[in-house]
């Protein structure tokens, strides 16, 4: 499951993407890693 933030920046509990297969899990992992790396670049 992947929950996304709403316009206010808080996680919107009413909006989520669900998936159960390996492709979905791999996509979520890659998406997380992409944003995690971007966060590391922005921190002092």
- Tens-binned pLDDT, residue by residue, of the chain (44 aa): 777 777 888 888 888 888 999 999 999 899 889 888 887 777 66
The backbone torsions φ and ψ at residue 6, rounded to the nearest 5 degrees and listed phi first, read: -85, -170
Q: How many Å apart are CA 41 and CA 39, to the nearest integer?
A: 5
Task: With CA atoms as reference, report the closest residue to 16 among 24, 26, 5, 25.
Answer: 5
pTM assigned to the model = 0.60
Do the Cβ atoms of 15 and 4 come closer than 8 Å? yes
């Amino acid at each position: 499951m992947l929950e996304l933030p709403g316009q206010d920046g808080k996680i919107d509990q009413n909006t989520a993407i669900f998936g159960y297969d390996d492709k979905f899990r791999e996509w979520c992992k890659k998406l997380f890693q992409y944003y995690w790396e971007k966060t590391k670049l922005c921190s002092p």
